[in-house]
Structure 1
């Protein structure tokens, strides 16, 4: 059974260092059943963590394919995004199931999107994707092309097939983009793209970019492409602006060229525009942190901006002060993600320790759990929070929170005899628990102290 309380248990499973051992083995039917049930929970955080844990457990395509197909049709866009991210985060292990899903007309579209996220890790899916390009239906052909674009080495042998798609008005933009991503193309494709580049609109812009990508040594061509793409940043059409900004990043244009346009896009109410701006900032790595920190001021993009900062890990440290402000957010998802991200930053987020300690002491449920985890990940620089961790560990009735506080204390000051004596009863109680999560946690934490 997976319960400390559904949300709390799932948060522990997703974030604690013992999470990979938390749910026994792949064949643990009750655990899988409980997680499947949790994917229907009304709380999106519960659904997200349940999905992530199911992907990790790999219960098999008989469970995962129907489930993620259903969830990817959820009316909540955030749920769909989380499903894709959760499956993509599981890495190459999910590829066989996704290849199988490509055979299912209902699942193929979403499987292509997830394969795009996996990129080169999903190279084994290239033949199946090429098959969909050749014989698939409607928009699935386009998504299969775009998935191939993310695995250029594996897709290179299919350039003749992709070149044929340049003659299809429904596929020509995706085909041009895929050829540009591969960086190599037949002479026939280059000639077609050169003709397209003389036009206007999105096809022209993609063609210009693709030609530059295929000829990296041609300085003049690349400079002309950057100039065209920079002009596209001011387009009234969101797709043109999206291609322009993404193209400039891939051609290694100056980040300063992008910042003004992206700053304007982040403040817009147009969801696709904002989403593209965030995607571009994510691809910029640390260069995008300044704007991501500014995006934390906009409620509509806070959550996604926090996630991107979290992916930067320790490099996200300059955003610490802005993240600390969000710990008190009325939006539980935003508050939780801010706390989790401070933990991912680690010691660089030491200025957040007082606020995290306060959130731990005053908070309940996931806020308290994630605060304890964050303090533990900050490590020795969180020593001022020791009294709070100790007090909460001793006072709480929640065995999961007790264990998390013990884990945090060990990572903050595990060498001291006082800490070891304080956490010993909690570890002992967890080891005798009938909860397999706590048992595993106790074993691993005990081993760290030896």
Structure 2
């Protein structure tokens, strides 16, 4: 294969990072910790999880579980599990499918007295131990351990909800540049409204989204947002090439460790032990974790994992605001008072730090959140078949933004009373009666 140059690498990135077209598809990736139903403080052996998952049928010709609506099940380095929904043309269909697959996964885990727990950080004090012994994760652990505890905490002790939305058209109200701007302006409100990680090692951290704090303290070359350039494609290409190389894939038995401090651009210019190929560049992109990651579509990564079916609310909010042009304009106007980042890239800006620490106790963030939830509700009212999503969004708004609260406050309230901090944070799933 022909080695890359800087020019061919940039052309490659410009061609594949954003798929241009009218917004059409939506997807969700929901992640959970697995806890013992009777003793959640006790670490769960990977063998118990494997036995539980073995009760699920397999995809034809595959060793992967087959879930009713086709969500992909993956296991994360610290034992977390994730369901990735298939892309759907209607967010309501996406929601119904993932609800069914979540129920099937929960039933399988129950055979071993295990439960899914939705929280942005595992609040219980326990050793952070890698449960997946793969070259990628070994290299990640070595890379992050050189920079402090944050990478290991991220890999083994955090969980998220990610909403995936189309990149948009070339220009116009649903254009890529407009949608890119909106999701980055909306980011602090999503952090604050859905903050659900106030505890680490059994103690309050002073942040309602400790998960966001962890991400902000990791390697800045891969967790900050790209520079605020007029063209998101150019900004992303620059970001990818200037990010440090986390690992280099090598033959079986050889470590994937990369030279410390090596950026991909330096690799292209002759550093490293061999010239990089397009496959190396594509793999390098998967090791970058900004708040919004282009993968053809836009992957929103700033939302803490939610209890129960709580992922419905961020799905409803973001899809309504981005895919309804009237709502998108109204949301930008509502977010304008929060101001600009003055050249500093999230999540290191003061606004993002306030969102992680204070959540909706911050009056400006609460006002912006209430406006965005109301705008999204109006957009869902205009959308046929969105009753279930609208109900979920309204229920969440009444429980949290209207009261200046977020799910993290449930955990803190429980801790003050001596209760299990996660027990009250898992509301009953949305019922068919609620949806009607």
TM range (shorter): under 0.3
Tell me which of the two structures has the higher relative contact order, counting C-alpha pairs closer than 8 angstroms and 6 or more residues apart: 2
Give the structure with the larger strand fraction. Answer: 2
The TM-score normalised by the length of structure 2 is: 0.25
Indicate the structure (1 or 2) with the bigger Cα radius of gyration: 1
Larger relative helix fraction: 1
**TM-score, structure 1 as length reference:** 0.25
